[in-house]
Amino acid sequence: MDLGLEGRVALVTASSSGLGRASAEALAAEGAKVVLTARGESKLRQVESDLSQRGAEVLAIADDISRPDAPAALVAAAMEHFGHLDIVVANAGGPPQGRALEVDDDAIHQALETNMLASVRLVRAALPHMTERGWGRFCCIASYSIVQPLPNLALSNLARTALWAWAKTAAADIARQGGSITLNLVCPGPHTTPRMVELGGMAGSMGDPADFGRVVAFLCSSSASFVNGAAIVVDGGSTTAL
């Protein structure tokens, strides 16, 4: 299937490893030009080199997506370098573990900044450019905890479900504006990523990040034009919630 991504420009945040990198690789494999960003310079440059060697057009920018002004700066850099921006994959490292009654206000604020507000800011910054061209795709990487909260990840549960509530309403607002612009969440379960190592692993099988990346690529494609305001759970059947 031709996903219609040849020549599209995609900004993928937190893309130096894990599911962000897998998403960037999947988009590049479909012919998209990719703007990579992450806090760690060395890992970011390695991904840039790997994708460039595969023939992809890549721009790498070291930045911290949780900074309030970072989303707008990244969108501006993509526009300046490539002339347009068609796809935003909003991703960020997950917050630390902690049970609901143990986390303090500072931890909650930081989780919301990184795992909710950063995505909101990216959408706000990029939407006018997509509206001008009449086409765009937003894909926010969240977690399967939006359908089945995880007991020791209270901060993630809070921030991801807050993002989902915002995205569901924002997607409808975007649809009313017309044009082929969509906003969806993709919600991973356990995959073989550094985040899973940080969490101490999970019982049962874990997914291949490359497979997850291909789901993201489909949601960002021309073929997914009628998928809007959806939360696609990619967890291998781990959750039992309806």
Both structure tokens of 200: 């101490």
The residue type found at 95 is P
- 241 lies in a domain? no
- 220 lies in a domain? yes
- Average pLDDT over the chain, rounded to an integer: 95
225 — phi, psi (to 5°)? Answer: -65, -20
pLDDT over threshold 70, residue 197: no
pLDDT over threshold 60, residue 203: no
- 21 lies in a domain? yes
* pTM given for the model: 0.95
Q: Where are the beta strands (DSSP E) in the chain?
A: 9-13, 33-38, 58-62, 87-90, 135-141, 180-188, 231-234
Overall domain count for the chain: 1
The bridge status of strand 87-90 relative to strand 58-62 is: unpaired
> CA–CA separation, 173 vs 10, rounded Å?
22
pLDDT in the model for residue 87:
98
- 3 lies in a domain? no
- 239 lies in a domain? no
Assign residue 197 the CATH number of its domain.
3.40.50.720
pLDDT in the model for residue 195:
78
Question: How many helices and strands (H and E) does the chain possess?
Answer: 8, 7
- 4 lies in a domain? no
At residue 206 the predicted structure's pLDDT band, cuts being 50, 70 and 90, is: confident
Supply the range of the domain harboring residue 45.
9-234
- 242 lies in a domain? no
What percent of the chain clears pLDDT 90, i.e. is strictly above it? 90
